[in-house]
Structure 1
Amino acid sequence: MEELFVILPNTPISDTLENMMRAAIEGRKYVLVNDAQNIPNLRNKKLLFISQVNELGTDLFMLNFLSKIMEKSKECFSGSMGAVLVHSETEHGTKRTAQDIIFIANGLGCSFIGHPLVEAISSLKNFLTWQKNLDLSLEEICLKNCRELIKRLLEGKFVTLENPKILALYSSPHKTSNTLDLWHMVSRHLENYEVKELLIEAGEVKDCHGCAYKLCNHYGKNNRCFYGGIMAEEVLPAIEKYDAIVWLCPNYNDAVAANLTAVINRLTVLYRQMSFHEKSIFAIIVSGNSGSDSIAKQLIGALNINKGFRLPPYFSLMAIANDPKSIFKVEGIEEQSRLFAENMTIEIKC
């Protein structure tokens, strides 16, 4: 049985989180990691991050732990695969805290399985939708999900694809987009692979209108959507076919562009019909001044946590470039692009 490394710098923890952890590790061999000054080798391991969110909506103990481990090595989680358990003393903070943990750990070399999170708010009301299909209490559903999460984590054995198909989604104009220019620096190193670029122009993809489950499911069986258009004709078939999706995201207002957000929202119709666990996501993010991490965390929340895409290590390439073509003046950007492309070819797995 593969050994599990449980990262828990915050003690004591709530009874709820204690029960979640016990359900996850029951009958399994594990190592408890709670001292940032005495850290075992955490490379090529299966990692379970356990986080207690306080009334302010954060976990200062976990952030401090990750800060200290980062001082030791920027590759301390290289080759490792992770999942997260989070409990909040309030109704808030679980998703944001999980996004922070995943973003930081990913930048230290950790990949994350699709749907890597079990979160529990104070009332456990976030499990009400599950209860519609399960004859279990909210607490029982929570613990069931914890057991299933760890089972998927420990059984996860991804292999590198030799000839991956790569899809790049973008919505920026060619002539002025530093983001697209940065992607082309990367894609030059992917000439031996099947790469498709798909432009999502303004107004082409209507946002999701929240169809009833049965209606959405009906159209999804045929890879269609009630609203049709480019989403049903090109985007959904491409996402189904390709092994990795690269999201090209300029930062306009510290948020993913509206066109791409609409694409994410409309993925539900395909999500109901297939698992995205064996599809990898990457991101190219360019900001005029700051905030690229905000975009990266949104993508983690929407695509890795919610939709279940696999998150490879070092999934995002971020840069600051304001004026058109100024991306080419960023120090070391060509080498960063080459290394990012190299990481993609290694980390597109199934």
Structure 2
Amino acid sequence: MLYVVQLDWQDKDGVSRLDTILEYALAGTPYKLISHLEEFIALCPDTALRTAPDGKDRQLLFAVNLARGGMNLSYARLLYHLSCHSHCLEGWTGAVLVDGSEELFTKKIGRELIFMANRAGCAFPGKPLVEGTGSLYNFNVQAKLQGIDNLQAYKESARRLVKKVTAFVPRWEGMGQRVLALHASSRRTSNTLLLWELVRQHLPPEMSVQEISLRNGSVVDCRGCSYEACLHFGEKGDCFYGGVIVEQVYPAIKQCDTLVLICPNYNDAVSANIMAFFNRLTALFRKDWDTFAHKRIFALVVSGYSGGDIVAEQIIGALNCNKNFVLPGHFALMETANEPRSILGCPHVEKRAAALARRISGVAYA
């Protein structure tokens, strides 16, 4: 059963554009509408569905209607509930539909909701977000390619999203046998790499773990080749700019089941080399986008002061929303540590590292 969580920002006097989109997208799909937070709380108590390893019949479509300024007070109440109940969505899979009244905030709110639901245990398939800006200008390309108008392109995208989330069944067992860990840090000073070592020591010995440092060799960022040029190189598993990304990272991405990103917080963002990896992945994605839908992403984020959530959301946007990687529940381990090796003084950090290792190795609820 698909549960549609539509918490509107005010009492409606008529049919909204989001209502029209949902009517089209849900046609022929059995679903139940959740229109009040109290219903959601009853549906998803914090007692965690730990006996439901396959996520079957536990699917959520979050539908958010935004007023001016990206406001929705019912949505804010939902986020508060998710933040207070960190296991209430264990065993659930989700997708997000955001309809806006202006050109801003739809992606921001969508990415934020994915992050908050994921912290409560919800898993997401690749590309789980459909957003409609006020003008629907963001559907110009899709409409042109399909030979339809922007509103119809929006409806079709929403329908595909419903089909995706209802068909998605996360199967974690056996998915973590080939792990790729990417970093761009110095082992001498990096708390994030030290945190990874705490995680890695709890991984089963039979797992294959490959580490690649993006500090080794020049990592040239994407320079914005034309679509045709990028597709041409991508079809050969190549990129015009070559280097470690093509020689080491592309083959490793193809072979891995699970990608672990080791990301210290640099000015409230991932480091330049990790960002270059995001951008350069486009060439490979154009050719192998469907295989990315069977790969999981995890992240370790260490901040010197604060802002780990910003970095985690950046990773969600780049790899889950954009590049089609699966987002398992509780995908990110976020810590705060400043001085070298001070990560070891974080309370219960080893326990959290061990829990992440269990999730990487295929234990859904760790």
Range of TM-score over shorter length: over 0.9
Aligned: 1:123 with 2:125? no
Conservation of the 8 A alpha-carbon contact between 2:97 and 2:130: yes
Conservation of the 8 A alpha-carbon contact between 2:83 and 2:116: no
- Could you say which residue in structure 2 is the equivalent of 1:54? 67
Aligned: 1:342 with 2:358? yes
- Could you say which residue in structure 1 is the equivalent of 2:314? 298
Distance between the aligned counterparts of 2:170 and 2:119, measured in 1? 19
The answer to which of 122-131 and 6-15 deviates more is 6-15
Conservation of the 8 A alpha-carbon contact between 1:231 and 1:263: yes
Aligned: 1:109 with 2:125? no
Conservation of the 8 A alpha-carbon contact between 1:312 and 1:347: no
Distance between the aligned counterparts of 1:96 and 1:34, measured in 2? 22
1:166 to 131, 156, 179: 179
Q: Which residue identity does 1:116 align to in structure 2? A: P
Percent identity, aligned pairs only, is 38
Distance between the aligned counterparts of 1:185 and 1:137, measured in 2? 52
How do 1:1-350 and structure 2 match up within 5 A? Answer: 3-10=1-8, 11-12=10-11, 15-38=16-39, 39-42=41-44, 43=49, 44=55, 45-68=58-81, 70-71=83-84, 73-162=85-174, 164-190=177-203, 191-201=205-215, 204-274=218-288, 275=290, 276-346=292-362
Equivalent position SS for 1:214: helix
Distance between the aligned counterparts of 1:125 and 1:27, measured in 2? 28
Conservation of the 8 A alpha-carbon contact between 2:217 and 2:244: no
Q: Which residue identity does 2:162 align to in structure 1? A: I
Q: Which residue identity does 1:322 align to in structure 2? A: N
Q: Which residue identity does 1:307 align to in structure 2? A: K
How far residue 140 of structure 1 moved from its aligned partner, in angstroms, is: 0.7
Distance between the aligned counterparts of 1:290 and 1:37, measured in 2? 32
Q: Which residue identity does 1:228 align to in structure 2? A: G
Conservation of the 8 A alpha-carbon contact between 2:87 and 2:120: yes
Distance between the aligned counterparts of 1:83 and 1:206, measured in 2? 34
Distance 1:173 1:70, change over 3 A: closer
How far residue 342 of structure 1 moved from its aligned partner, in angstroms, is: 0.7
Conservation of the 8 A alpha-carbon contact between 1:202 and 1:259: no
Equivalent position SS for 1:317: strand
The answer to which of 314-323 and 160-169 deviates more is 160-169
Aligned positions, number:
345
Conservation of the 8 A alpha-carbon contact between 1:70 and 1:76: no
Q: Which residue identity does 1:170 align to in structure 2? A: H
Distance between the aligned counterparts of 1:133 and 1:243, measured in 2? 32
Equivalent position SS for 1:122: coil
How far residue 317 of structure 1 moved from its aligned partner, in angstroms, is: 0.2
How far residue 203 of structure 1 moved from its aligned partner, in angstroms, is: 6.7
How far residue 58 of structure 1 moved from its aligned partner, in angstroms, is: 4.0
Q: Which residue identity does 1:265 align to in structure 2? A: N
Q: Which residue identity does 2:311 align to in structure 1? A: I
Distance between the aligned counterparts of 2:43 and 2:23, measured in 1? 23
How far residue 35 of structure 1 moved from its aligned partner, in angstroms, is: 2.1
Runs of 4+ in 1 over 4 A off after TM superposition: 11-14
Distance 1:12 1:318, change over 3 A: same
Q: Which residue identity does 1:248 align to in structure 2? A: I
TM-score by length of 1: 0.94
Conservation of the 8 A alpha-carbon contact between 1:58 and 1:97: no
Structure 2's unaligned 5+ residue stretches are 50-54
The answer to which of 43-52 and 156-165 deviates more is 156-165
The one-character-per-residue Cα deviations of 1:69-100 (angstroms, maximum 9, x if unpaired) are 554x3211101000010011110001110111
